[in-house]
Amino acid sequence: MNEIFWAFGRASGIVSLGLFTLVLLLGIVSRSGRPLPGLPRFSVALLHRSTSLMALVFLVLHVSTLMLDPHAKLSLANAIVPFTAGWNPFWVGLGTVAFDLVIALVVTGLLRQRIGQRAFRAIHWCAYAMWPFAFAHALGSGTNAVDLWFQAYAWGCAGLVAVGAGWRLSANFAETSRARLGRI
């Protein structure tokens, strides 16, 4: 029975990393103002939202199964306050930081209309900080971190994020950047 919690906790963590990678990329595409092939702009925005909620579900499963697991012995406080876990506190703590950021991102995302654009945007920038924390946590405290397939998967995610971030910073990132610069 205990093994099940451990295995499930691990698997849901691995799935979370992939889903948050997808969420980040969809967010970047959304921000560019460009549609995707077969997916109009508003669908990209809706997909960004629904994928993020799905990622949250897996993340909550990840954290809660490890709270039930007798090896990990994660308490509720450990899950919220970074670097307090009894086991591997630094690397688990990085995951806790990512978890806290996700909670802030989701809450402000859902309340966007109410809290106003400025507050929403300020907090939403944290999405770029959240991912590296999650990635470092996956490599540092993941039981599978030494496995080749896991390395390939995690670094594959990192590659996609690097490409996305590079594109985000490039001059022609926004759909309208050419036109606005007078080069229509």
- The binding site for other proteins (CB under 8 A) comprises 30-31, 33, 35, 40-42, 45-46, 112-113, 116-117, 175-176, 179-180, 184
Residues forming a β-bridge with 36: 39
Comparing CB distances to other proteins, the nearer of 2 and 170 is: 170
User: How many Å from the N-terminal Cα to the C-terminal Cα in the chain?
Assistant: 63
CB of 117 to other proteins, least distance (A): 5
Comparing CB distances to other proteins, the nearer of 25 and 138 is: 25
CB of 83 to other proteins, least distance (A): 35
Instruction: Name the DSSP letter for residue 10.
Output: H
CB of 24 to other proteins, least distance (A): 16
- What span, in angstroms and rounded, lies between the C-alpha atoms of 37 and 61? 33
Contact 169, 45 (CB under 8 A): no
Which tokens hold the place of 83? 């670097």
CB of 16 to other proteins, least distance (A): 25
Question: Reduced to 3 states, what is the DSSP secondary structure of residue 126?
Answer: coil
Comparing CB distances to other proteins, the nearer of 27 and 93 is: 27
